[in-house]
Amino acid sequence: MDKTPIDKIIKDLDISASEMRRLVKSFTSEMRRGLSGARSSLKMIPTYASQPTGEETGEFIALDLGGTNFRILSLELKGEGRIGKPAIMSFKLGQKEISGGENNLFDFIASRLKLFLSKNDLLGAKHFLGFTFSFPVKQTGIATGDLVCWTKGFSAKGVIGKDVVRLLNEALIRCGVGNLNISAMLNDTVGTLAAESYEDRNCDIGVIIGTGTNACYSETLSNISGIKNSGSASGRMIINIEWGNFDKLKKTRFDLEVDEMSSNPGEQILEKMVSGMYLGQIAESVIRQTIASPIRGFTTEHMSRIESDVSKDLSNTGRVLKSLGVKTSTLKVRAEVLSICKAVSSRGARIVAACLGAIILKMDPKISSSHTIAIDGTVYEKHPTFAKNIRAGLKGLFGRKASRVKLVLTKDGSGIGAAITAAAASNNRR
């Protein structure tokens, strides 16, 4: 067992005020490099989507794929920011789809789309579909783009480098569905931004902090290199930052261990310090190497339970530890485990705050307008202090002006936003 005092480890995980400012600078410079086409850990992908007007209307189908569960929705956009109650079906991908061949994945999705259409009486007439595909895709138009790499543990073969809209279209044809027109493909962050800004015109940033993490924001067209005929009337375009890959961060040996064990070592460094797939793994690595070696299978959900423990003797923490192989624990051990969890999660939240600070300053250097940030994802929604720590981080950076920045939980935005983006794209096409 390692003899490094816990206090020292907790200090190494801390992000000081000056480190926050360094992160803001470094994130800004990576954003600029990515936008100009220079080498950068930030892909800064033009999405060919802009903020909705709130006046998009009609019935649309949305397919939301970004993790092991995917959802299909049909919903009516009523204009003036109003949305009808959607019909929703959820499905779970198996290992065969996540890590098998391309046809396994897309044929499965197409067959479930067919089931959804038939259950909801939607086979036959033509429908526009918005396809949320939450992985790094190099878009060349609103409904075309090639997968750059897999993230979040996905590894289906034969998809990298291919147009995912074409793969879905071909699978739909194989399965006999001929009435869907995929009018938009988008990232979940873009869907989240679209869903919130359908109602709130100040919303110009979309964020996901769930299994993975990422953000998008609205950028002036002239700042984006390589974009010609964008068709954007607003003079702006949403950029999918793919911030999960930001790598100008100080890594501890625990981060290095988690990275080495992952399916994509060396990639998605920020994601591995912030998102739900990894926070628990980092905490486990610290706990296992310092105070409780038998511990196995520690997840971000366990962290949330421990960090919500307000009992005097930390008995809930003891129960979590017990369920993970640590039969007995002293109060001292339980308190140390709690401190480690807090240090790991608050580091994640402070990294998010620094990156958000950089994005806001990029759009509005004096913070002279109001900004709404739409956020979705289980970590943001369910962790007891993550949201609060992001706000505190922004306050530390912006002082009083932080009150001009509103953070809004935008539940299921990635599905609803797909319908809105599909509507905007199909209007442009008509």
* Residue closer to ligand GLC (CB basis): 81 or 244: 244
CA distance 328 to 307: 19
Task: Say which DSSP state 70 is in.
Answer: E
* Residue closer to ligand GLC (CB basis): 134 or 285: 134
Q: Which of 164, 79, 62, 115 is nearest to 412 (CA)?
A: 62
Q: How far is the CB of 324 from ligand GLC (least distance, A)?
A: 26
Hey, what amino acid is at 295? I
* Residue closer to ligand GLC (CB basis): 213 or 421: 213
Candidate list 64, 107, 163, 188, residue with the active-site label: 188
* Residue closer to ligand GLC (CB basis): 64 or 102: 64
Q: How far is the CB of 301 from ligand GLC (least distance, A)?
A: 17
For 126: left if phi > 0, alpha if psi spans -120 to 50, otherwise beta; the answer is beta
User: Which residue in the set 188, 219, 257, 336 belongs to the binding site for ligand GLC (CB under 6 A)?
Assistant: 188
Which of the ranges 73-81, 111-119, 185-193, 226-234 carries the binding residues for ligand GLC, by CB under 6 A? Answer: 185-193
Tokens for 301, please give them.
């959900």
Q: Which residue is nearest to ligand GLC (CB)?
A: 212
Q: How far is the CB of 185 from ligand GLC (least distance, A)?
A: 12
User: Which residue in the set 40, 104, 139, 214 belongs to the binding site for ligand GLC (CB under 6 A)?
Assistant: 214
Which of the ranges 72-80, 119-127, 132-140, 257-265 carries the binding residues for ligand GLC, by CB under 6 A? Answer: 132-140
Q: How far is the CB of 66 from ligand GLC (least distance, A)?
A: 5
Query: What is the tally of helices (H) and strands (E) in the chain?
Result: 15, 14
- Any contact of residue 66 with ligand GLC (CB under 6 A)? yes
Q: Is 12 a catalytic residue?
A: no
CA distance 206 to 106: 27
User: Which residue in the set 102, 219, 267, 271 belongs to the binding site for ligand GLC (CB under 6 A)?
Assistant: 271
CA atoms within 13 A on the CB side of 22: 8
Which of the ranges 112-120, 181-189, 219-227, 399-407 carries the binding residues for ligand GLC, by CB under 6 A? Answer: 181-189
Q: Interaction with ligand GLC in 194-213: which residues (CB under 6 A)?
A: 208, 210, 212-213
Q: Is 361 exposed, middle or buried (0-12, 13-18, 19+ CB in 10 A)?
A: middle
CA distance 221 to 234: 9
Q: How far is the CB of 1 from ligand GLC (least distance, A)?
A: 34
User: Which residue in the set 46, 130, 244, 357 belongs to the binding site for ligand GLC (CB under 6 A)?
Assistant: 244
* Residue closer to ligand GLC (CB basis): 118 or 263: 263
Residue given tokens 């705050």 in the structure block: 353
Q: How far is the CB of 414 from ligand GLC (least distance, A)?
A: 8
Q: How far is the CB of 4 from ligand GLC (least distance, A)?
A: 31
Q: How far is the CB of 281 from ligand GLC (least distance, A)?
A: 16
Runs of H (alpha helix) within 151-299: 164-174, 188-197, 253-261, 271-274, 276-290
CA distance 406 to 15: 23
Q: Is 364 a catalytic residue?
A: no
CA distance 337 to 340: 5
Q: Which of 141, 163, 137 is nearest to 230 (CA)?
A: 141
User: Which residue in the set 41, 104, 189, 290 belongs to the binding site for ligand GLC (CB under 6 A)?
Assistant: 189
**CB 26, CB 243: distance < 8 Å:** no
- Any contact of residue 134 with ligand GLC (CB under 6 A)? yes
Q: How far is the CB of 427 from ligand GLC (least distance, A)?
A: 25
- Any contact of residue 180 with ligand GLC (CB under 6 A)? no
Runs of H (alpha helix) within 232-384: 253-261, 271-274, 276-290, 300-307, 315-323, 331-363, 378-382
Q: Could you please report the per-residue DSSP string of 124-138?
A: SS-EEEEEEE-S-EE
Rg (CA), the chain: 22
- Any contact of residue 151 with ligand GLC (CB under 6 A)? yes
Report the relative pairing of strands 45-46 and 236-240 from DSSP bridges. Answer: antiparallel
* Residue closer to ligand GLC (CB basis): 340 or 379: 379
Measured in Å, how far apart are the chain's first and last C-alpha atoms?
66
* Residue closer to ligand GLC (CB basis): 244 or 393: 244
CB atoms within 10 A of CB 276: 27
Per-residue contact string for residues 326-355; x = within reach of ligand GLC by CB under 6 A: ------------------------------
Binding-site size, ligand GLC (CB under 6 A)? 17
- Computed from CA positions of residues 351, 247, 44, 22, in that sequence, does the dihedral angle turn out positive or negative? positive
Give the footprint of ligand GLC on this chain (CB under 6 A).
Answer: 66, 134-136, 151-152, 187-189, 208, 210, 212-214, 242, 244, 271
